Amino acid sequence: MPRPRKSPEEKRSKWQVLNVTTAERAAITAAAREAGLSINDYILACTRQTRLVRRGDREHVVRLLAGIEARLEEIAWQVMAAPLSTQDVAGLLLALRGVELSLRQSAGGRADTNDAEEDVEC
């Protein structure tokens, strides 16, 4: 089922009236990239004087998740390898705690990784 059509007030259209020098374009592009926004969203946010939020680095998050996956797979292999003694269980709990701590450190000490955003000046 298609989504409902936007009203004329909500619908956006292209407006190509921005005349800038090469240096100005480079500055706007760099500022938008730093903010983690498209050029369009950056200019609109500056115009509205809304708060700009830099999004987390996607490549960093992918590397972090790959590392976590490897550590969790290692723990899973240890669990499946043999019957576990109390010491083995304690060691696995410590390993899981290490994964949790690395997640918290990567999130800037916060429990929620979505909070790892920061304000950017327009």
82 has pLDDT over 90: no
Mean per-residue pLDDT, 1-20: 85
Q: How far is CA 43 from CA 12, 93, 98, in A?
A: 14, 49, 42
pTM of the entire predicted model: 0.41
Written as one letter, the residue type at 102 is S
CB atoms within 10 A of CB 88: 14
So where are the chain's domains?
22-54, 58-116
CA angle 27-29-32, nearest 5°?
Answer: 105
- Give the 3-state secondary structure of 25-58: HHHHHHHHHHHCCCHHHHHHHHHHCCCEEECCCH
Q: Is residue 112 very low, low, confident or very high in pLDDT (cuts 50, 70, 90)?
A: very low
pLDDT at 72: 86
Res. 111: pLDDT tops 50: no
Express as a percent the part of the chain with pLDDT over 70. 82
